[in-house]
Amino acid sequence: MKKILIPTKLDGIAAKILSDNGNYSVVQDSQTPFADLVAANPDTYALIVRSEPVTAETIDRLPSLKVIIRAGAGYNTIDTKYARKRGVDVMNTPGANANAVAEEVIALILADMRHVVAADPSVRSGKWEKKSFMGTELSGKTVGIVGLGNIGRLVAKRLRGFDCRILGYDPIVPGEKARASGIEPVSLEELFTEADIVTLHIPETDSTRKMLSTELLSHLKTGATIVNCARAGIVDEDALRAAKPVKKLRYITDVYPRDEEGPKSIADVADVMMPHLGASTKEANRTAARRAAEELIDLDERGVTACIVNRDIPDGLDRSYCDLAWTIARLARLLAGESKPIREIETSFYGQLEKFANWLVVPVLSGVSENFDRLNDRKAAVNFLKDAGIEYNNRQADSAKQFSNSMTIDVIVEDGANRLKRTSVRGTVAENRLMVARINEFDGLYFDPRGPVMCCIYKDRPGVIAAISRRIADMGINIEDMRNPHDPKTGRSLVILKLSQAVDEKALAGIAAEVSAESALCFEI
């Protein structure tokens, strides 16, 4: 019998399903401290948790541990990398809490618009302050949804019953997919400019951290409402604190840097606060519990790995090519424009890489979207692509090209009304170094894209490189490597500069204006 430890208040359906299977003995105890349960059950085969932190120390104390399941979507409380080092699979139950969070968003919006929180204690104290609690109707309002994953689309579905105009922003989801859900796709700036209510449904990543900044807040209407049931870190608290009295904003939240008792830094800014209750419904708890049990059985009996979030690379595939797939996919995405919805991804894998095409979709997809974890497996990638409405086409490699162990990744994005833009990047590994061989029509590059890099496309003519070099030198930045190919068919040139440090946006715009660049980009991968 395999021992399953459930040290949390999880619906009993998980324990029942596992016990009824006949291959598992279940210990479920939410009262005993987690550390004590771990010490008392060293023979644990699988651990099912909610928000309990599973550290390297915890994993070391369970020598028989093979599986950790997070009954929920986020798994940032689990040391997934150390778990993989120890040969422990980490799984989650994505989507189990989506409806609960979506309903909480609607509840919070209505509660704030109708002053439910303040009116209740007022009436209980004997007051009758009808004039003070004059409300606002949700019907007819414009609601902007940032992030159109499961939760974002469910929020839109619930809002349609209130006759709202629904705007949506997601740099991954194509416009057609958004419109099919009754959402009008717009830019992030347009969403913040037009929305009466903005609700956030994005993960916290390096690119989204403090996304709600002074600049973005400046677009909001006076009196607008912001709802954050996603992650605390996506909001710049100081920027919100400064903008709130000026814009007379409302801020509603149930997320904080840490889920624990104690003062909350956002308390002076928030109008309504909840203790991270988005997933806390009986239905969501039961769904997550049921899925956790079913996933464990599917893994053990049928080898189903779709929900494992820390998969290792397959035998025979050099890790450097996984890194290459991620890197050139990331570069293609940056060159195409991060804010433009992706319509399609096309790939070609040459040489020995062709047989790993099905697996390499994982690092490719992770490179183009921060919302997809690189530790997922192919089935999870396929589900992500289907959910986002992105076509993925792996082209049969043309052996006549003789591109030994190389890959080409094309990212096709929506570029204005009924227009598509293709960005194509080819790369390989040479002497253990990642190399970009081609960008669009510019071939024979062979440069390492890692580190501060500046790219500029311009109409070919003398003096451009000198002008760019002078500008960069004036900033005290050194050029460490350079490529400058020309394309006689289009009359365009590409300059790629590897720099000692990045060029800021203002300086980049100045360089682009001076040389009349068609496009200019500075990035660091």
Q: Give the pLDDT band (50/70/90) at residue 74.
A: confident
**What are the angstrom distances between the C-alpha of 223 and each of 227, 245, 248, 510?**
13, 10, 5, 36
User: CA 229, CA 278: separation in Å to the nearest integer?
Assistant: 7
Q: What's the token pair of residue 69?
A: 């399941």
What pLDDT does residue 385 have?
Answer: 92
Cα 211–414–330 angle (5° rounding)?
60
- Is there a shared CATH topology between the 314-450 domain and the 451-525 domain? no
For helices 282-302 and 13-21, give the axis angle rounded to 10 degrees.
20
Cα 368–373–377 angle (5° rounding)?
105
> Is the confidence at residue 38, as pLDDT, over 90?
yes
Q: Give the pLDDT band (50/70/90) at residue 383.
A: confident
DSSP alpha helix (H) spans, 73-115: 80-85, 98-113
User: Is 328 within 8 Å of 425 (Cβ atoms)?
Assistant: yes
Q: What's the token pair of residue 8?
A: 């949390």
- Look up the pTM and report it: 0.80
Q: Give the pLDDT band (50/70/90) at residue 402.
A: low
Domain ranges of the chain: 2-96+282-302, 98-273, 314-450, 451-525
Q: What is the mean pLDDT of residues 195-200?
A: 98
Share of the chain above pLDDT 90, in %: 77
pLDDT digits over 143-160, tens only?
Answer: 999 999 889 999 999 999
Q: Tokens 């190399």 identify what position?
A: 435
User: CA 417, CA 447: separation in Å to the nearest integer?
Assistant: 34
Q: Which CATH architecture has domain 451-525?
A: 2-Layer Sandwich (3.30)
What pLDDT does residue 432 have?
Answer: 80
Q: What's the token pair of residue 424?
A: 């194509």
What is the pLDDT of the chain when averaged over all its residues? 92
User: CA 510, CA 467: separation in Å to the nearest integer?
Assistant: 11
What pLDDT does residue 319 have?
Answer: 84
What pLDDT does residue 312 have?
Answer: 67
Q: What is the mean pLDDT of residues 472-485?
A: 93
User: CA 175, CA 179: separation in Å to the nearest integer?
Assistant: 6
Q: What is the mean pLDDT of residues 348-370?
A: 92
Tell me which range, 214-228, 429-443, 508-522, is most confidently predicted by mean pLDDT. Answer: 214-228
Pick from 291, 412, 445: which is nearest to 341 by CA?
Answer: 412
Going by CATH, does the domain composed of 98-273 fall within 3.40.50.720? Answer: yes
pLDDT digits over 239-262, tens only?
Answer: 999 999 999 999 999 999 988 899
What pLDDT does residue 393 have?
Answer: 94
3-state SS assignment for residue 67? strand
DSSP alpha helix (H) spans, 114-213: 116-124, 150-159, 175-180, 188-194
Q: Is 11 left (phi over 0), alpha (psi -120 to 50) or beta?
A: beta
In this structure, of 293-302, 378-387, 484-493, 510-519, the range with the lowest mean pLDDT score is 378-387
What pLDDT does residue 450 have?
Answer: 85
Going by CATH, does the domain composed of 2-96+282-302 fall within 3.40.50.720? Answer: yes
DSSP alpha helix (H) spans, 426-504: 464-474
Q: Give the pLDDT band (50/70/90) at residue 207.
A: confident
Q: What is the mean pLDDT of residues 23-42?
A: 96
Going by CATH, does the domain composed of 314-450 fall within 3.30.1330.90? Answer: yes
Backbone φ and ψ for 192, nearest 5 degrees, come out as -70, -30
Altogether, the residues listed in the chain come to a count of: 525
> Is the confidence at residue 311, as pLDDT, over 80?
no
Give Cα 261 to chain centroid, integer Å.
28
Residue 146 exposed, middle or buried by CB count within 10 Å (0-12, 13-18, 19+): buried
pLDDT digits over 169-193, tens only?
Answer: 998 888 888 999 999 999 999 999 9
**Position with higher pLDDT, 356 vs 380:** 356
What pLDDT does residue 374 have?
Answer: 81
Q: What is the mean pLDDT of residues 268-274?
A: 96
User: Is 492 within 8 Å of 458 (Cβ atoms)?
Assistant: yes
